[in-house]
Structure 1
């Protein structure tokens, strides 16, 4: 039994050793950073690609998948929130807080943003890569019940472009311009 435990520990250490952990670490960091938690995945992608330049596309694809799945989590959180709110409204049809909530969520900005999102639909999720607004945008897409598959596709496209452009620029373009 001890030999099996020893082999299992060695196997686990080998799995967690660099550079093998790089892609799984990028996946986890990218997934978590796409939720509403404040974390950036770009430094992990950049560090990995700097250490292993031949893994550029592998790192970009893994980061894109992780970040898109994190966006999907935010989407499902928004969908769950709207379903919970609707259930609450059904159980409390004459609650004063409901009318107070409706007054607080109205207004010019709310109306303009809602119209913009409804007009663009899932295409708005091309902007899900943006700092500060990108993660809530995924949750709002769920709240607005945008179709899931097109939403995920547009999220993935935006995130793929972000990782590709940012990483390539920092590694290959900026040094030639004398900026890095």
Structure 2
């Protein structure tokens, strides 16, 4: 990961942030921190990581929207309990629950469940973007 960041900078951060919001276990926070500590512009890093992670979340939403529930369970590697938890959270809080799309373990399932429930992108993107921006901006603030 370090080599990718050093060689590709913000482009590498975008790719890692995108992948982190899909079903792959990638630490985009470490990539953001590494670039900032290496002297990259924190504002640019936060913007790129937020956009990449949000586009990745939209991809996960699309898998939920056009995939079947059994397919999602296999793809996410979720237990029935984890899937039901995501469904309960989304059913109770609706699109506001997507402010938590950045969280480990529950974030990806929430995005997929939002797609599965037919939430429009117009209602999906704002809370996801806001939650991811807050996470990356908070991390950048702690590092500066």
Distance 1:17 1:75 in 2: 27
Instruction: Tell me if structure 2 keeps the 8 A contact 1:123–1:151.
Output: no
> 3-state SS of the aligned residue for 1:37?
coil
Give the distance between the partners of 1:123 and 1:84, measured in 2 at CA. 25
Displacement of 1:83? 8.8
Structure 2 equivalent of residue 48 of structure 1: 35
- 2:107 paired with 1:134: yes
With over 3 angstroms needed to count, the CA separation of the structure-2 counterparts of 1:115 and 1:45, relative to structure 1, is: closer
**CA distance in 2: counterparts of 1:81 and 1:22, whole angstroms:** 33
Structure 1, unaligned stretches of length 5 or more? 1-15, 86-104, 173-180
Q: TM-score, normalised by structure 1?
A: 0.65
Question: What SS does the corresponding residue of 1:36 show, helix, strand or coil?
Answer: coil
1:35-71 Cα distance to aligned partner (Å, 9 max, x none): 0111110111111111125x10110000000000000
Structure 2 residue aligned with 1:10: none
Distance 1:83 1:129, change over 3 A: closer
Q: Which of 1 and 2 has greater Rg? A: 1
Please state whether the residue corresponding to 1:146 is helix, strand or coil: coil
3-state SS of paired residue (1:126): helix
Displacement of 1:23 in angstroms is 0.7
158-167 or 113-122, which moves further after superposition? Answer: 113-122
Distance 1:114 1:136 in 2: 8
Counterpart for residue 74 of structure 1: 60
- 2: CA distance between counterparts of 1:17 and 1:36? 21
Structure 1 position 113, deviation (Å): 5.4
Asked if 1 retains the 8 angstrom alpha-carbon contact of 2:86 and 2:113, the reply is no
- In structure 2, stretches of 5+ residues that fail to align are 72-79
**After TM superposition, which residue ranges in structure 1, 4 or more long, deviate above 3 angstroms?**
16-19, 82-85, 112-116
- TM (norm. structure 2) is 0.80
Contact 2:87 2:113 survives alignment (8 Å): no
Whether 2:33 is the aligned partner of 1:60: answer no
* Aligned CA-pair RMSD: 2.7
